[in-house]
Structure 1
Amino acid sequence: MTGDGFDPDDFETRAIHAGWEPDQETGAIMPPIYASSTFAQDAPGEDRGYEYSRTGNPTRTALEDNLASLEGGEYGRAFASGMAAINTVLNLLEAGDHVVVGRDVYGGTHRLFTGVYEDYDLEFSFVDATDSDVVAEAITDETALVWIETPTNPLMQIVDIEAVSAVASERDTLLAVDNTFATPYLQRPLEHGADIVAHSLTKYLGGHSDVVGGALVTDDEQLDERFGYYQNSVGATPDPFGCFLVLRGTKTLPVRMDRHSENARQLATWLDDQPAVETVYYPGLASHPGHEVAAAQMDDFGGMLSVDLAADLDAVREFVSATEVFTLAESLGGVESLLEHPATMTHAAVPAPERRETGITDGLVRLSVGLESVEDLQADLEQALAGTVDSDR
């Protein structure tokens, strides 16, 4: 539990202080990195709150409490990666269960669902989650979970969390929301009816491209107890140093997300006017079909955007290799700007016909807009476009 006592409206204060108070013995401001695999017990079975670091570690507890506070939840659990967190949610299910999934999801999520868990007799239906009626039609008597992202990866679609929550709740089905792109600074799915919030801590919450981790947050004590059981049993837990790094990242999350959002908004507006760009996917643009829903459930629109260059694959490969400030790399959410080609990188595991049906074309490029000078970022994209993509279409 969070137990932090901070005003729930003071996100910036909680980002810095929730989960840890200065050490009473030493006065240390930052939580120590408890690099201990085991902990002394006063008598057999009588520990002081910790017994073994897979089961629990004080540095990890500080992070889990911090994350729960930021999401406005009661309980948080940290994992070795975002995929380990998602896998833990699927551990709730039984053979024969059915899952409704938003069609546009991270390629690793798609791979886990179809390449691993379908072998254990789970069924997955990938649908257009931006339409809650479509979600409702997909739910069957065997449906145990609805899984969505918003904004989605990589098409930046917006799912109305409250509308999908109402549908899931009516059918007594759990709703899990991957909140990685938005972060709790911009969107808190529990406030809109979600049962579970998932994060890749590797991204904005860590914020510096130097740690891999995942998290789950919930208000449901029974769900949290099951997450804790699987966390300990499977052992996909983060090391204390990784937890320390993410805690460092959450302290600056508000100021970083403000700058990410500002830079992305300016670049999206500029890109929308470029002849070489056919479509810009950014929920902060008034032309985005999910703009109104995003404005209602998000406090800003984030640092992620995608563009469809409607160019052939060779030209797109040249473009993503021609930038000098943007770095061609997978992942996102660090202080540096990255770009990647979903069809051959993050979503290569999704079969090509399914990619095309979803809208992931060979011309789609995803940008993680960092904290550099926006003028430098724009100039970089401009020179890359001019040198590789026909702008006279």
Structure 2
Amino acid sequence: MKFGTKAIHAGITPDPTTGAIMTPIYQTSTYVQESPGKHKGYEYSRTHNPTRTALQNALAALENGQYGICFSSGMAATDAVLRLYKPGDEIIVTNDIYGGTYRIMKRIYEGYGLIFRFVDMSNPGNVTEAISDNTRMIWIETPTNPLLKIIDIKQITALCNGRNIHCVVDNTFASPYLQNPLDLGADIVMHSVTKYLGGHSDTVMGALITNDNELAKQLAFIQNAAGAVPGPQDCFLVLRGLKTLHIRMQRHCENAMQIATWLSNHPKVAMVYYPGLTSHPGHEIAKKQMRDFGGMLSFELKGDVYEEAVSTMERLELFSLGESLGGVESLCTHPASMTHASIPKAEREQVGLKDTLIRLSVGIEDVDDLIADLQQAIG
């Protein structure tokens, strides 16, 4: 079954009671049992909910996985993964990474004894050097947030083989339409479902997908025991969003490519970070492991003046200034003060994240209107 068909049909069956073609919103906290322990597969909605089950099955199918586990946010999903490890375990992490991921690792789990080593994974040799006898997990984010670095998933997962090391890939920027890390050797795929999977900026959710039966059992236990689960209304909204994922992602990619090319030729733009450009250092790897190059890009203006970057963002009209990404509408973000503010300035600059960097989540509007908006804002 091809992706567009899976996006509409995978994990979904007509409601057995009424024949409703759309999965109902099972807005209930509990379920009546015939006798103690004798029920129809559902006891309590923190543990299981039919709307959530349908979504989990759909997400697993889109990532070519067997098990999907949904959480109340992308950070709750990340938290569940980190709960798999114990004090003294070492985790190697992409150094250009979402600020919230950095925050939970450094400010919460480092206090519980986990050890994090942040390396530039665009050079796999850095990962090889960082691996020790205590390494238990490698966390990849590709394309990275916000510098759009590309990491060779297959090459990194090969380093885990035979070493009792899990490989987890944050696939949020790509979505399963563009990239399937499980097929490249990853053990777990993480999504901030809030972004492209939901696609309409109207829900917050996270998900983990795996083919490993034991990992699935552990993560499902954490999901139930810790209780950070999404409600049925949110699950319904994401199920609806998935049905247009392939159409939306194609337009995101087309628009982003045109905008990246336009920005690259603008006399006031110093640098454009977009893996679809042949000048991007990760372009060939992206071509190999992605089906297209995504809707995210970042850029810097010439002169490297903070005030000019801020005023440019303030002049944008169609690109709304706000955190998040992946919705049908275009967004503009200042990573240094917004999505990545939790990372110390010295560490941001060490990986190349300047205070003047502007990140765009390119929506599915008419691309000519988006370019006109950028033109009037940049001047």
Fold match (TM-score > 0.5): yes
Instruction: Check the 8 A contact 1:132/1:167 in 2, yes or no.
Output: no
Shift of 1:294: 0.2
Worse-matched range after superposition: 163-172 or 202-211: 163-172
- Scaled by the length of structure 1, the TM-score of the pair is 0.95
Match of 1:18 among 10, 19, 25: 10
Amino acid in structure 1 at the alignment position of 2:369: D
SS of 2:359's equivalent? strand
For 1:38 and 1:110, locate their aligned partners in 2 and report how far apart those are by CA, in whole Å: 37
The match for 1:229 is 221
- Answering whether residue 369 of structure 2 is matched by residue 362 of structure 1, we say no
Q: Which sections of structure 2, spanning at least 5 residues, go unmatched?
A: none
Q: Any unmatched runs of 5+ in structure 1?
A: 1-6, 387-393
1:147 aligns with 2:124: no
- Deviations for 1:197-222, whole angstroms, at most 9, x for unmatched residues? 00000000000000000000000000
Task: Determine the structure 1 residue equivalent to 2:372.
Answer: 379
Distance 2:267 2:127 in 1: 36
For residues 98 and 308 of structure 1, what CA distance do their matches in structure 2 show? 35
Deviation at 1:170, TM superposition (A): 4.2
1-structure distance, mates of 2:374, 2:154:
37
How big is the shift at 1:24? 2.7
- TM-score normalised by structure 2 residue count: 0.99
In structure 2, what is the Cα distance between the partners aligned to 1:342 and 1:154?
7
Q: Deviations over 1:38-68 (max 9, x none)?
A: 0111110112101000001000000000000
- Give me the CA root mean square deviation: 0.7
Query: Over residues 112-171 of structure 1, what are the superposed CA-to-partner deviations in whole Å (9 max), with x where a residue is unaligned?
Result: 000100100111000001111111110111111100100000000000000000012243
**Is 1:137 aligned with 2:98?**
no
Give yes or no for the alignment of 1:327 onto 2:320.
yes
Q: Give, in whole Å, the separation in 2 of the partners of 1:206 and 1:87.
A: 20
Q: Do structure 1's residue 68 and structure 2's residue 60 form an aligned pair?
A: yes
**Correspondence for 1:252:** 244
CA-CA distance at 1:234 after TM superposition = 0.3
Equivalent residue in structure 1 for 2:88, among 93, 96, 119: 96
2:353 matches 1:353? no
The structural deviation recorded for 1:275 is 1.5
Please state whether the residue corresponding to 1:181 is helix, strand or coil.
coil
Runs of 4+ in 1 over 6 A off after TM superposition: none
Paired positions, count: 378
Aligned residues: percent identity? 57
Q: 2:170 aligns with which of 171, 178, 185?
A: 178
> Matches of 1:91 and 1:383 in 2, distance apart?
48
2:305 counterpart (297, 300, 312): 312
* Distance (whole Å) between structure 2 residues aligned to residue 80 and residue 169 of structure 1: 31
Aligned equivalents of 2:128, 2:38: Cα separation in 1: 49
Q: Letter of the 1:385 partner, please give it.
A: I
Q: Which residue of 2 aligns with 1:268?
A: 260
Residue equivalent to 2:110? 118
Correspondent of 1:28 among 10, 15, 20: 20
